[in-house]
C-alpha cells in the first residue's frame, strides 16, 4: 500500500537526472522529469493515492536542473510513496502549454494510484485538479527472472499469433476463469490450456498500459484501451490486487505462466498519440511538462494529427524517443514481454512538419539496442495521414500488418472480379509488394480479421456494419469491409445459407494458414464469435466485446478444423515459408531455394486463368526429388469445377475439402486420394499432400523384443495433436 510520509517537511538533496522517473536510493527516492522550457517545478507528495491534496510541496529551482531535466532526492521516502508535479512556464501560441493549476502524472511512473477519485474533465481548463488527479507511485525496477521463465523464442517461420483483449477474453458465460479473476491479467492464466490446445505460439494483447476509460462517449467506457495515460504502468482494471505495488508483479506472473506454456506475449502499444487529445483536451501528463516537445504542432500552436485522436507524438525528437525506449525496456526487461505491436507505427517515422523519414531515429536506436534485439516487433504500416509503407517500412526488423492480404483474400472468396491474380501474389509471399521477390519470413503479418473490423463470423453474415450501440449514429467504423452476408443480413435459419457460411469460414481460415508469412487470428474466430455486425466495439465492455465461451456443435467443429489446420501448418512450415531450411527431424522431403518451385494452375495443369472474370485458381509446390508435394485448388465460383491434379507416385492424401461438413472437412487422419482429378464444389477449397509428408515410422514390437520379420512400418500422423 502507499506509504505515509514520516515528517511534515522532508529533507532533500539535489538529486540526479538519471534514471528518469522515481527510483529508490539508499537515502530515499530520486525524482527526475524532463521539462525543457519550464521556469519552475514543484514535486507534490501525497499521503496516499486517494488524498485530495498534497501533504507536502517541494519546490525545485535552478540548482535542481541539469539541462532539460529537473531532479531532486527526497530522504526518508520509499516504495509506495505517491507523488505528482506542477510545472510552471509561459503559455504558448493558442493559449495552451504550461498549466500549473494541474497536477501532472510522471510520464515515467511505473505504477499509478488515484483512480478512485480521478475525473478526466477536471484536467481541462484552469481549475485546479489536485482532488481528482492521478498520482505516480514509487515502485521497484527489478528485472524479470528469465532463468526461471526463459523466452520461448519461437521462430517467425512457425509463429501463429492470437490477438485478444484481456478483459474481453476472460469474461462471458461459460468462461473458465473464476469469477473473482475475470477481466484480469491473472485470469488470463486460466485460459492458457485453451490456447495451448488450439496450437497458437503467441498471444498479442490489446493495450494493457494504463489508459483512460473515461475517454469515450457519454454513458460509455473506453474498452479497447487506445487512449494511453502512461507508457510504463499496467492498467488498473486488469489487476486483481488493488495495491499499486503489486501491479508489476501480476504482469510478471502472467508472463511467467505464458513462458512456461511455451507462449510468447506481444503487447499492442500506443506511442503515436496520447489521451490528451488536441489543444482543447485535458492536461494529464506529457502536455503539462513540455507541450511543444512531445507533440507535432504548427507554428501557431495547433496540433498536427495523423493518429485520428487529436495529437501525434514527435518520436523523431531525442528526449521523446528516449522515453519510448525506456518504456520498451520497462516492459521487456523488467516485466518479461517478448514483443510489441505498434499501433499506427509508421506515424513514428515522421519528422518535423510530419515529413516521412527514410531513417527514423527511433527505429534505428531500437535496432541498435542490445536489450531490445531479441524481441518480436510488429507494426501497422499505415497512419491516418495517408502514409502506407509495408515493403519499405523504414526498419529492418519490423514486421508489418498486411492489409492487402486481408482485402484480397476477402474479395476472392466473396466472388469479386479481378481477384485471381492478386490472390496468387498473397499466396506466393507478396512479390508484387516486395520488388518482385517473396517477402522474407517475419516481414508480413497475414490476417483476415483483427479487433478493428468484423469478426470472421460477421464477415460472412453481414453486408454492412451495425454500430448504433456505440452512440455515434453509425458514423464510426469502416464502411469498406469486403464482407458478404450470403443472402440474409445477420443470423438466419436457412440451412443452405448457414452451410455456405460455414464453408466460407473454412475457406478463409485455410487460405490464411496455408500462405507464406506469419498468420494472426482474432480471439473467438475459431468458435464463430459474433459482435452482431458491430465492426468497432471499442466502447463495448459487454457480451458484444467478450469471448464466446459456450460453443455449439458447429462452433466446436470449426475449432477442431482450425486446430488441425495449425498443426498441419507446423508440420509443413519449411514448405510454406520456404526461405528457411527445415529443422532436423522434420519431414522426409522438404523445399529449399535451389530445388523447389511453385507452379500455378487453372482447371488444367499449368494453365492458370488470370482473366478479370476468373474465380478459380490452383497451385502446387514441387521438389526436384519428391515431385509435387502439395496441391491446392480454390473454387470461388458459384458452380462446381473439375481440376486436373499432378501425378504423385507415392500417393496423395486429401487433407482438406471445405465442401464437406463438420469434421469431414479436415479429418484427424487424412485419407488417400486415388482419383485422377479433383472435383471441387462451388466456393470450396481442397488440399492434397504427398503421403510421405504426413507419415511417420513406427516399430512393430512383441513384448520387449522385435517381432520376427516385423521391421518398421509407416502410418499417417494424426492432426489432432
Distance of CA 323 to the CA centre of its chain: 21
Q: Say yes or no to pLDDT of 5 above 60.
A: no
Supply 461's cell numbers.
453474415
Longest dimension (CA), the chain: 94
Helices 495-514/403-414 angle, 10° precision? 140
Mean pLDDT score of the chain: 93
397: buried, middle or exposed (CB in 10 Å: 19+, 13-18, 0-12)?
middle
Is residue 541 within 8 Å of residue 167, measured between CB atoms?
A: yes
- pLDDT tens-digit readout, 436-458: 999 999 999 999 999 999 999 99
Alpha-carbon gap, residue 414 to 419, rounded angstroms:
10
String of DSSP letters for 265-293: EEEEE--S--TT-STTS---SHHHHHHHH
DSSP for 606-631, written as a single string: T----STT--EEEEEEEETTTEEEEE
Cα gap 100→561, rounded to integer Å = 59
Angle (CA) 364-366-369 rounded to 5° is 110
Extract long-range pairs of 118-127: CB within 8 Å, 24+ residues apart: 118/214, 119/214, 120/212, 120/214, 120/215, 120/282, 121/282, 123/282, 123/283, 123/284, 124/280, 124/281, 124/282, 124/283, 126/99, 126/101, 127/101
DSSP string of 656-690, one letter each residue: EETTS-GGGGS-SSPEEE--SEEEE-TTEEEEEEE
**Catalytic (active-site) positions:** 343, 380
- The β-bridge partners of 371 are none
pLDDT band at 579 (very low <50, low <70, confident <90, very high): low
In our burial notation (b when 16+ CB lie closer than 10 A, e otherwise), range 300-312 reads ebebbbbbebbbb
CA distances to 153, 217, 553 from 493, in Å? 46, 35, 15
The answer, yes or no, to whether residue 274 has pLDDT greater than 50, is yes
Domain boundaries, the chain: 12-137, 584-699
Q: Let me know: does 533 contact 462? Beta carbons within 8 Å.
A: yes
Q: What is the pLDDT of residues 379-432, one digit of tens each?
A: 999 999 999 999 999 998 999 999 999 999 999 999 999 999 999 999 999 999
pLDDT average, residue stretch 238-266: 97
User: Looking at domain 584-699, which CATH architecture does it have?
Assistant: Sandwich (2.60)
Question: Confidence band (pLDDT; 50, 70, 90) for 556?
Answer: very high
pLDDT tens readout for residues 649-707: 999 999 999 999 999 999 999 999 999 999 999 999 999 999 999 998 765 554 444 44
Q: Which three cell numbers stand for residue 561?
A: 478444423
Say if CB 608 and CB 617 are below 8 A apart. yes
Task: Please state, in angstroms and rounded to a whole number, the distance separating the CA atoms of residues 34 and 138.
Answer: 17
Does 12-137 match 584-699 in CATH topology?
Answer: yes
Residue pair 355/376 in contact by the 8 Å Cβ criterion: no
Measured CA to CA, the distance from residue 566 to residue 199 in angstroms comes to 6
Structure confidence at residue 384 (pLDDT)? 95
Joined grid coordinates for residue 344: 499506427
HSE-up (13 A, CA, CB side) for residue 699: 8
User: What is the tens place of the pLDDT at every residue in 536-553?
Assistant: 999 999 999 999 999 999
pTM (predicted TM-score): 0.95
473: buried, middle or exposed (CB in 10 Å: 19+, 13-18, 0-12)? exposed
Half-sphere exposure of 705 (CA within 13 A, CB side): 3
pLDDT at position 592, please?
A: 45
Between CA 539 and CA 222 the distance in angstroms is 5
**Tell me, what's the pLDDT at 697?**
77
The CATH architecture of the domain made up of 12-137 is: Sandwich (2.60)
Spatial separation of the C-alpha atoms in residues 107 and 33, rounded to whole Å:
8
Strands 616-623 and 712-716 come out as unpaired
Parallel, antiparallel or unpaired: strands 96-97 and 40-46: unpaired
Task: Give the angle 332-335-338 at the CA atoms, nearest 5°.
Answer: 40
Residues linked to residue 41 through DSSP beta bridges, in sequence order? 60, 87
For the chain, helix, strand, coil in percent to 5 are 25, 20, 55
Q: Report how far residue 289's alpha carbon sits from residue 89's, in angstroms, rounded to the nearest whole number.
A: 9
Whether omega before 399 lies within 30 degrees of 0, making that bond cis, reads no
Specify the pLDDT at position 699. 57
Mean pLDDT over 177-186 rounds to 97
The long-range contacts involving 479-488, CB below 8 angstroms and separated by at least 24 positions, are 481/410, 481/453, 481/454, 481/535, 482/407, 482/410, 482/411, 482/414, 482/416, 483/410, 483/414, 483/454, 483/458, 483/459, 484/414, 484/415, 484/459, 484/460, 485/460, 485/461, 486/460, 486/461
Summarised one tens digit per residue, pLDDT across range 132-167 is 999 999 999 999 999 999 999 999 999 999 999 999
Tell me, what's the pLDDT at 396?
86
Angle at 693 (CA atoms; ends 691, 696), nearest 5 degrees: 90
What is the enclosing helix (H) or strand (E) of 294? Answer: helix 286-294
Grid cell locating 715 = 502410418
CA distances to 250, 292, 515 from 90, in Å = 41, 12, 56
Amino acid at each position: 500500500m502507499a506509504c505515509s510520509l514520516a515528517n511534515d517537511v522532508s529533507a532533500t538533496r539535489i538529486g540526479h537526472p538519471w534514471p528518469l522517473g522515481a527510483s529508490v536510493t539508499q537515502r530515499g527516492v530520486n525524482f527526475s522529469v524532463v521539462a525543457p522550457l519550464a521556469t519552475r517545478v514543484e514535486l507534490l507528495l501525497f499521503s496516499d493515492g486517494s488524498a485530495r491534496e498534497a501533504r507536502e510541496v517541494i519546490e525545485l529551482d535552478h540548482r535542481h536542473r541539469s539541462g532539460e531535466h529537473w531532479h531532486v532526492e527526497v530522504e526518508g521516502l520509499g516504495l509506495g510513496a505517491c507523488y505528482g508535479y506542477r510545472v510552471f512556464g509561459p503559455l504558448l501560441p493558442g493559449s495552451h502549454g504550461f498549466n500549473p493549476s494541474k497536477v501532472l502524472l510522471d510520464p515515467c511512473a511505473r505504477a499509478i494510484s488515484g483512480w478512485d477519485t480521478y475525473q478526466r474533465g477536471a484536467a481541462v481548463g484552469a481549475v485546479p485538479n489536485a482532488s481528482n488527479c492521478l498520482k505516480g507511485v514509487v515502485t521497484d525496477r527489478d528485472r524479470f527472472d528469465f532463468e526461471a521463465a526463459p523466452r520461448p523464442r519461437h521462430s517467425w517461420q512457425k509463429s501463429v499469433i492470437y490477438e485478444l483483449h484481456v478483459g474481453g477474453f476472460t469474461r462471458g458465460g461459460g468462461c473458465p476463469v473464476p469469477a473473482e479473476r475475470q477481466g484480469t491479467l491473472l485470469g488470463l492464466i486460466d485460459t492458457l490450456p485453451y490456447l495451448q490446445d488450439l496450437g497458437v505460439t503467441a498471444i498479442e494483447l490489446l493495450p494493457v498500459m494504463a489508459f483512460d476509460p473515461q475517454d469515450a462517449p457519454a454513458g460509455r467506457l473506453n474498452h479497447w484501451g487506445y487512449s494511453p495515460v502512461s507508457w510504463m504502468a499496467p492498467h488498473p482494471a486488469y489487476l486483481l490486487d488493488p495495491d499499486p505495488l503489486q501491479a508489476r508483479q501480476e504482469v510478471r506472473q502472467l508472463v511467467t505462466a505464458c513462458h512456461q506454456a511455451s507462449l510468447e506475449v506481444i503487447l499492442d502499444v500506443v506511442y503515436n498519440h496520447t489521451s490528451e487529445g488536441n489543444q482543447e483536451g485535458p492536461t494529464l501528463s506529457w502536455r503539462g511538462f513540455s507541450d511543444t516537445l512531445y507533440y507535432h504542432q504548427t507554428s501557431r500552436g495547433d496540433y498536427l494529427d495523423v493518429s485520428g485522436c487529436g495529437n501525434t507524438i514527435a518520436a523523431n525528437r531525442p528526449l521523446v524517443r528516449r522515453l519510448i525506449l525506456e518504456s520498451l525496456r520497462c516492459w521487456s526487461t523488467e516485466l518479461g514481454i517478448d514483443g510489441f505491436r505498434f499501433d499506427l507505427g509508421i506515424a513514428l517515422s515522421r519528422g518535423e512538419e510530419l515529413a516521412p523519414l527514410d531513417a527514423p531515429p527511433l527505429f534505428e536506436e531500437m535496432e541498435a539496442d542490445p536489450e531490445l534485439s531479441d524481441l518480436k516487433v510488429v507494426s501497422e504500416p499505415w497512419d491516418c495521414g495517408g502514409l502506407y509503407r509495408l515493403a519499405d517500412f523504414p526498419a529492418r526488423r519490423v514486421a508489418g500488418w498486411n492489409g492487402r492480404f486481408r482485402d484480397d483474400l476477402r474479395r476472392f472468396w466473396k466472388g469479386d472480379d479481378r481477384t485471381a491474380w492478386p490472390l496468387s501474389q498473397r499466396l506466393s509471399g507478396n512479390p508484387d509488394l516486395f520488388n518482385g521477390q517473396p517477402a522474407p519470413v517475419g516481414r508480413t503479418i497475414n490476417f483476415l480479421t483483427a479487433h478493428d473490423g468484423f469478426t470472421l463470423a460477421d464477415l460472412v453474415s453481414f453486408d454492412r456494419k451495425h454500430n448504433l450501440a456505440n452512440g455515434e449514429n453509425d458514423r464510426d467504423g469502416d464502411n469498406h469491409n469486403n464482407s458478404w452476408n450470403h443472402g440474409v443480413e445477420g443470423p438466419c435459419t436457412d440451412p443452405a445459407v448457414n452451410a455456405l457460411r460455414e464453408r466460407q469460414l473454412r475457406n478463409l481460415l485455410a487460405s490464411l494458414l496455408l500462405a507464406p508469412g506469419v498468420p494472426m487470428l482474432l480471439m473467438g474466430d475459431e468458435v464463430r464469435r459474433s459482435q452482431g455486425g458491430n465492426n468497432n466495439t471499442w466502447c463495448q465492455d459487454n457480451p458484444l466485446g467478450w469471448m464466446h465461451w459456450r460453443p455449439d456443435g458447429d462452433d466446436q467443429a470449426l475449432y477442431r478444423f482450425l486446430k488441425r489446420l495449425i498443426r498441419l501448418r507446423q508440420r509443413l512450415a519449411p514448405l510454406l515459408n520456404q526461405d528457411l531450411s527445415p529443422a532436423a527431424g522434420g519431414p522426409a522431403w522438404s523445399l529449399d531455394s535451389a530445388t523447389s518451385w511453385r507452379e500455378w494452375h487453372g482447371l488444367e495443369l499449368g494453365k492458370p486463368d488470370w482473366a478479370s472474370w476468373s474465380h478459380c485458381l490452383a497451385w502446387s509446390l514441387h521438389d526436384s526429388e519428391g515431385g509435387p508435394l502439395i496441391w491446392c485448388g480454390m473454387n470461388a465460383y458459384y458452380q462446381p469445377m473439375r481440376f486436373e491434379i499432378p501425378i504423385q507416385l507415392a500417393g496423395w492424401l486429401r487433407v482438406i475439402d471445405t465442401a464437406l461438413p463438420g469434421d469431414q472437412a479436415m479429418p484427424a487422419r487424412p485419407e488417400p486420394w486415388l482419383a485422377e482429378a479433383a472435383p471441387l464444389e462451388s466456393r470450396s477449397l481442397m488440399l492434397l499432400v504427398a503421403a510421405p509428408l504426413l507419415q511417420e515410422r513406427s516399430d512393430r514390437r512383441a513384448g520387449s523384443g522385435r517381432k520376427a520379420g516385423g521391421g518398421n512400418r509407416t502410418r499417417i500422423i494424426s492432426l489432432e495433436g
